[in-house]
Amino acid sequence: MTLITVVSAKHAPGATTSALVLAAAADPLTAPIVLEGDPAGGDLAARAGTLFDPGMATLFEHARNGGAAEELGLHAHVLPTGVRLVVGLVDPEKVSRYADDAAAVLAPLLQRAGMLAVVDGGRWGSAAGAAWAARSDLVVVAMRPTVDGAEHVAARLPSLRRIARAVRPLAIGDNPLRPADVADILGCPVSFLPSEPATARAVGEGRIGLDALRVTRLFAAAERVLSEISVTGHGPACTGPGTGPGTGTGTGTDRHPARRQPPALSRRLTA
């Protein structure tokens, strides 16, 4: 199993959408599943007009009662991209009952299921997000490519790195800062997804199929991100502003250290 948690620092940069796109771009043999672990989430069911049950609450009870890993899919909705989605919690009573313990209860089940799980951990700072991050192979930090967006991520990197095995900033868009500029500020390689509002909206509302998504720039970039991130050799750690090996690297060029990290996660997951 590979567990990736996507979080954000601030600004709703696209953490939830990115989790869905990354899962859609992964090798289908990894049976990708997205879990909406954001305690302030519940966005996806609302956007897609889906019921909240089954979802995180029913999956939690399933896992706590020793339910079979093979039955995990019964708690998911299948999106038109083929990605399975376990929708989040909105009822405050359910959030307080399940959210903080979800990672501890569900991670062993996901482990047994042996799939690629992408968790939407919401804004960094919640206990639930930290619990997912601590159990993840990689934490992806979605961010807007602005100076303040980068500074917010920089401020949170120390706490993220204390908890997570590997951290990868993910710039959504390249305006005003290119990913290479963000890498300079953060001192580590930065992955990139383009700003593609119509596609992003369709993904978030669960109304785009895999064939239509496949021909978008967003999908191609998500495939690139998956090939850049490596859960065993995750490349230079984020060491802070201006000090990391990613400093000064270009975007989309061979000079970017992230682009020299074989093998691709999407391929290795099937190994």
For binding to Mg ion (CB under 5 A), which residues are involved? 15-16
Does 126 bind ligand ATP (CB under 6 A)? Our answer is no
Does 145 bind ligand ATP (CB under 6 A)? Our answer is no
Q: How far apart are CA 221 and CA 21, in angstroms?
A: 9
Does 191 bind ligand ATP (CB under 6 A)? Our answer is no
143 binds, among ligand ATP, Mg ion, none (CB under 5 to 8 A by kind): none
- Do residues 121 and 100 lie in contact, with contact meaning Cβ atoms separated by under 8 Å? no
Torsion of CA 192, 197, 199, 202, to 10 degrees: 130
Task: Report the residue number, 11 or 268, with the smaller CB distance to ligand ATP.
Answer: 11
13 binds, among ligand ATP, Mg ion, none (CB under 5 to 8 A by kind): ligand ATP
- Do residues 38 and 122 lie in contact, with contact meaning Cβ atoms separated by under 8 Å? yes
Task: Report the residue number, 129 or 189, with the smaller CB distance to Mg ion.
Answer: 129
166 binds, among Mg ion, ligand ATP, none (CB under 5 to 8 A by kind): none
Q: Nearest residue to Mg ion, using CB?
A: 16
Task: Report the residue number, 113 or 177, with the smaller CB distance to ligand ATP.
Answer: 177
Q: Which residues of 1-14 are buried (b: 16+ CB within 10 A; e: fewer)?
A: bbbbbbbbbbeebb
169 binds, among Mg ion, ligand ATP, none (CB under 5 to 8 A by kind): none
Does 266 bind ligand ATP (CB under 6 A)? Our answer is no
Q: Nearest residue to ligand ATP, using CB?
A: 14
Q: How far apart are CA 39 and CA 125, in angstroms?
A: 11
3-state class of 65 per DSSP? coil
Q: Which residues pair with 119 in a beta bridge?
A: 5, 35
Residue position matching structure tokens 């190994």: 271
- Do residues 241 and 152 lie in contact, with contact meaning Cβ atoms separated by under 8 Å? no
For 203, phi and psi rounded to 5 degrees?
-65, -45
Does 156 bind ligand ATP (CB under 6 A)? Our answer is no
Closest by alpha carbon to 107, among 117, 98, 99? 117
126 binds, among ligand ATP, Mg ion, none (CB under 5 to 8 A by kind): none
193 binds, among Mg ion, ligand ATP, none (CB under 5 to 8 A by kind): ligand ATP
Which residue among 55, 122, 149, 189 contacts ligand ATP (CB under 6 A)? Answer: 122
Query: Interface residues with ligand ATP (CB under 6 A)?
Result: 8, 12-17, 38, 43, 122-123, 142, 172, 193, 195-197, 200-201, 204, 218
